[in-house]
Chains A and B, each alone.
Chain A
Amino acid sequence: MTGFFRSRTQIAVLLLSLAVVALTPIFGNLYHLHLVSLIAVYWVLISTLTLLVGYTGPISIGHAGLLAIGAYAYTILTSKFGWNGYVAIPSAAAMCGLCGLILGLPSLRLPGFYFALTTIAFSLIVGENLLAWGGLTGGGTGLMVPSLPGLFASPRALYWLCIAAAVLASLFCYNLARTMWGRNMIAVRDSEIAAQSVGISPLRTKLTIFMLAGFFAGLAGALYALLQNYILPENFHFDLSLFFFISIIIGGRGELLGPFLGAVVLTLLPEVMGSLAQYATLIYGVVLLLVVLMLPRGLGPMLRGAFASNKGTGEHAEEPDTERLKALLVGGKS
């Protein structure tokens, strides 16, 4: 029941992703390669952000700030301090994990709104400081990113590195979500008091997951810098945080598959829209509003419902089955 191949949708998405990943280096040009790598890098960040927002509950709208710190940490460590790239990537990730700790410790103790606003503020002050510390970060002119030495120097090799990171993040999230930690997270999301009564510390759970999300955001940031070759503060605009966040809400909270599809669609959307790309953020806003008002559980459960071979597998569902409940209640009355 709870195996990985739980439904046909999951198998279909998995096979399709594998096909795209395997065929792009053979048939695609460098632009296609870049796009798939970008989706993979975003997914490294979004998958762990899903653990936080979708499973544990706190709403982080400032993940572009963490991505920026990862990217700049990697670039500065390699270019200004001459570190080896393979040491700099985990260092950048660790630095972001530490940022998660510093940011989460005061704000996660308070009601959700404080955390949400602290993360928004964080992404704004990261942008501000990137411009302010021009000597270190290059300010508005940005920084050239040194490519990795040795094996992963070429774009094609880097593609496989990004894919490997995405697979690693997926496995990590999938395993964490279905084991005891995942149950803890869902318990904290659904009722902190109930979670406390069975011996789960909400703050500890939330803080750990936020640190993990920070760590993977840093990893994604380092890979993002490598992919872009050149980083600017504008790359990490607030709209990017919104983009990560909306992928998860559209996909559905408490899901992994939905946010994955959300990330794919939202990454490709500005690319296929061409001259309409200036409306991208507006469209994100409209989509978010519609999803929140009409489908608060996101599109994930709907997808599953359309293809599922075994109905009622909503083990991470947020709401009771209101339709059936309503039918029962109405039936009982008459």
Chain B
Amino acid sequence: MLAPLVTGLALGGLYAMTAIIYNVMFSSSKVLSLTTGHMLMIGGVAGAWAISVLGLHPMLGIALAVIIGGAFGGFTEVVAVRRTLARPDDHLWLLSTLALATIVQQCVALWWGTEPRPFPKLLPVDGTGYLHQRYWLPVLAAILMAVAVELFSRRTTVGKSLRALSEDELAARARGMDTGRLRLFSYVLAGALGAIAGLAAGQITFAYYALGLSLTLNGFVALALGGIGSNSGALIGGLILGLITAFGTHFFGGEFQNTISIGVLILFLIIRPQGLLGSAKLRQV
């Protein structure tokens, strides 16, 4: 019973991080970007490329991957979000982020290849069996990320501005905040966090081009479980989803992984649409 528990927690950490990254972008723009999973994918692929192919020191590789991730986050905002928010049509951002996600995935597939490639060991820590870093690194990173994002948004000026922006954009602008720049910043931050998450979980996901879509999906399920906008909800939702997926896989077989997580989502949408910790007011009309 230990095996599904350990892999479930590791997967849960991965899904929780994805959900937190959704939240970071959602707070500033009310956009649930379909490129979220691709941010993690890019982080993982860039890390594997820098460390395994270029032969850089792991720390340098991590730094490079974070820079690439941040750049991709900013790119998402400039290309796919900024212009669609300026238009009156609803959900245009859904189409533009879908398009960008497709483009990125295809580009990575053409450049990196369509086979999953192994991911190097990140930390010079020894540990065998269930104590291997591939299992505890995602969980640790998820908890640290949730704490860091919470502290950031409660203690720093930029974080507080972002919260003000998510409460009421017009009021924030009336107070003299540069909302456009804040939104760009939150996307760069999301991209960088995505790269960190992709790196932390790289040893269980491998560097694989098609990872983006499935993470976009599972991260959203975690987010919907926990409640959109809540970081602690994202952490809980992610861990629950990871455990359900791992135990489901253990009992029914690995080929049903997505089926199980979507089953959870559909059940949950029927019972409690606003999520565990979300507020009902998010159900816009």
Contact = CB atoms under 8 A, between A and B. Distances in A.
Interface of A: 57, 59, 61, 106-107, 109-114, 116-118, 120-122, 124-125, 128-129, 131-132, 192-193, 238, 242, 249, 278-279, 281-282, 284-286, 288-289, 292-293, 296, 318-319
Contact of A106 (B79, B80, B270): B270
A200 to B, nearest CB: 14
Sorting the interface of chain B by its residue count into under 10, 10 to 19, 20 to 34 or 35 or more gives: 35 or more
B96 A292 contact: yes
B277 interface: no
Given A292-B95, A293-B84, A111 B283 contact: yes
Interface in B155-196: none
Contact of B90 (A112, A129, A131, A279): A112
A309 to B, nearest CB: 28
Given A106-B266, A111-B283, A131 B106 contact: no
B49 interface: no
B106 A112 contact: no
B273 A109 contact: yes
A117 B103 contact: no
A106 B100 CA distance: 28
Contact of A117 (B87, B90, B217, B285): B217
Nearest to B252: A132
Given A132-B253, A238-B213, A289-B100, A249 B95 contact: yes
Contact of A118 (B32, B103, B258, B265): B265
| Top 6 closest pairs, chain A to chain B, by CB | A285-B102, A289-B99, A132-B255, A288-B99, A282-B106, A285-B103
Contacts of B259: 125, 128-129, 132
Nearest to A124: B258
A254 B95 CA distance: 16
A149 B52 CA distance: 58
User: Main SS of chain B's interface residues?
Assistant: helix
B94 interface: yes
A282 B110 contact: yes
Nearest to B282: A111
A132 B79 CA distance: 39
Nearest to B217: A121
A132 B257 CA distance: 11
Interface of B: 32, 79-80, 83-84, 87-92, 94-96, 98-103, 106-107, 110, 213-214, 216-217, 220, 224, 253, 255-259, 261-262, 265-266, 269-270, 273, 283-285
B217 A124 contact: yes
User: Main SS of chain A's interface residues?
Assistant: helix
A278 to B, nearest CB: 8
Contacts of A279: 106, 110
11 contacts: A106-B266, A112-B91, A117-B216, A124-B213, A129-B259, A278-B110, A281-B102, A289-B79, A289-B80, A289-B103, A319-B89
Nearest to A238: B213
Contacts of A242: 98, 102
A289 B224 CA distance: 27
A237 to B, nearest CB: 11
Given A121-B258, A124-B217, A192-B285, A318 B100 contact: no
Nearest to A193: B285
B258 A288 contact: no
A278 B92 CA distance: 27
A59 B103 contact: no
A59 B255 contact: no
Given A129-B255, A284-B102, 19 more contacts: A110-B283, A113-B32, A113-B91, A114-B224, A116-B91, A116-B94, A120-B217, A121-B258, A121-B262, A285-B106, A288-B99, A289-B80, A289-B96, A289-B99, A292-B96, A293-B84, A296-B92, A319-B88, A319-B89
B256 A128 contact: yes
B34 to A, nearest CB: 8
A109 B141 CA distance: 35
B161 to A, nearest CB: 25
Contacts of B261: 121
A288 to B, nearest CB: 4
A275 B38 CA distance: 27
Contacts of A121: 217, 258, 261-262, 265
Contacts of A128: 255-259
A2 B83 CA distance: 34
A154 to B, nearest CB: 38
Nearest to B268: A106
A128 B218 CA distance: 15
B84 A292 contact: yes
A292 B89 CA distance: 11
Contact of A131 (B80, B103, B255): B255
Contacts of A122: 262
B100 A110 contact: no
B211 to A, nearest CB: 13
B103 A293 contact: no
Contacts of A296: 87, 89, 92
Nearest to A61: B98
A111 B89 contact: no
A125 B99 contact: no
Contacts of A106: 266, 269-270
Contacts of B285: 192-193
Nearest to A196: B285
B269 A110 contact: yes
B100 to A, nearest CB: 6
A120 B80 CA distance: 19
Nearest to B255: A132
